[in-house]
Amino acid sequence: MATIREIKNRMKAVGNIKRITRTMQMIATAKFAAAQTRATAAKPYTEGVFKLVQELAATAGDIDHPLISGPGGDISAKPELVLILTSDRGLCGPYNGGVLRLAMSHLRSLSVPCETELVGKKGVAFLKFQGKPATRHHTHFGDNPHREEIEHLAQEYMDRFSAGELSAVRVVYTRFISAGKQSPEILQLLPLKPPSESGEGEKASGPGALYEFSPEAGELLSELLPETVRTTLAQCFSDAIVSEHVSRMVAMKSATDAAGKMGKTLTRQYNRARQAQITTELTEIISGAAALE
């Protein structure tokens, strides 16, 4: 049985841990609220751009754009680029583990060369251990990346894909569904799936809108398709950040509750040890007094 001093030291350590985890929980809650506001505010615009591209493409008929069909020629042997979004800090439960396991499953299934780019620090050691170190590591995004930085990255991907250097670009991230549900997913950023295919169900369900294009449909789509790629990548970053904060908030709440339960258990152990010590001391005093008589 542990001594009273050992129990008191453990009680003090558990109390310190509880204060730290409660503070981290409060910080994560505040960051989650701000990140959720940004993510939900941008989602209608992203969905609106997709819907507009779908309607315009369905009305304009066949579309031929490098972001959809590629630059032409055989690019099947070109490498695929996989962007993995992880966190810079830990203590966020299964957040990083789910993303990295899904990414490794996808990387192992590829039959073409692959370039792996990583956002966040937590995936570096994991990828090295798995024998697939990151080709490029982005360290400048942080918890609140600027829109310009994300658009610059998206433009770089579009330029490389249009030039025929890449066969595809995919993003592995955690999609934010609700505060109680986040799901690791793989999103195909490039090539864009032909909007006319995804819009067939809507087109068949009722009469569609008739558009008179000014300027021409091809010129409009040349502006809208890059914007679709940029907004989609930005939404991936927003979902990943808000998912990280909610995962850390839940993990720190669980840690705080566990520390509280452990503190109560240690308090009971301390009281029992103290009671046993007092009983032993009283027994020794009474025995000594009886021996003197």
Q: What's the rounded Cα separation, in Å, for the pair 154 and 33? A: 26
Strand bridging mode 114-119 / 80-85 = parallel
- Contact between 44 and 238 under an 8 Å Cβ cutoff? The reply is no
Q: Which residue's structure tokens are 């069909």?
A: 69
- What is the fold, at CATH topology level, of the domain defined by 21-251? Pyruvate Kinase; Chain: A, domain 1 (3.40.1380)
- Contact between 63 and 196 under an 8 Å Cβ cutoff? The reply is yes
- Predicted TM-score of the model (pTM): 0.81
* pLDDT tens, the chain, 293 aa long: 568 889 999 999 999 999 999 999 999 999 998 888 888 888 888 878 877 776 776 666 666 777 777 766 666 678 999 999 999 988 998 999 999 999 999 999 988 889 999 999 988 999 999 888 899 999 888 878 888 999 999 999 999 998 888 988 999 999 998 888 899 999 988 887 644 343 444 444 455 556 666 667 677 777 888 888 999 999 999 999 999 999 999 999 999 999 999 999 999 999 998 898 888 888 888 888 788 76
> In this structure, what DSSP letter does residue 135 have?
S
Contacts of 68-74 spanning 24+ positions with Cβ under 8 A: 68/191, 68/192, 68/193, 68/194, 68/225, 69/191, 70/161, 70/164, 70/167, 70/191, 71/161, 71/162, 71/163, 71/164, 72/164, 73/164
In one-letter notation, the amino acid at residue 185 is E
Q: What's the rounded Cα separation, in Å, for the pair 226 and 229? A: 5
Q: What's the rounded Cα separation, in Å, for the pair 218 and 3? A: 80
List the domain boundaries for the chain. 21-251
